[in-house]
Amino acid sequence: MLMLSDLLIGNDVDTYEDLVKAVEAVARQGEMFFQMDVKPPFPDTPENWEQQLEARFTSAR
């Protein structure tokens, strides 16, 4: 299971857009489950970040 905190720690992620790209990349590698256990700490994080990340994760698989 992909944890958002692990993704933030284990990748070079400096912006929300970098995070979106990392989520999509992991989904394409075959990850089946994604849990958002922390809020992304970026100033450009939108209010609906949970829905956006879930949608990008699901559509990238």
Per-residue pLDDT of the chain (61 residues; tens, 9 = 90+): 999 999 999 999 999 999 999 999 999 999 999 999 999 999 999 999 999 999 999 999 8
For the beta carbon of residue 15, count every other beta carbon within 10 angstroms: 13
For residue 61, what pLDDT is reported? Answer: 83
Number of domains within the chain: 1
What's CA 25's distance to the chain center, in Å? 9
Residue ranges making up the domain that contains 45? 2-60
Q: What is the DSSP string of 1-61?
A: -EEHHHHHHHS---SHHHHHHHHHHHHHTT---EE--S----TT--TTHHHHHHHHHHHH-
Best CA proximity match to 20, nearest among 57, 51, 48: 57
For residue 27, what pLDDT is reported? Answer: 97
For residue 52, what pLDDT is reported? Answer: 98
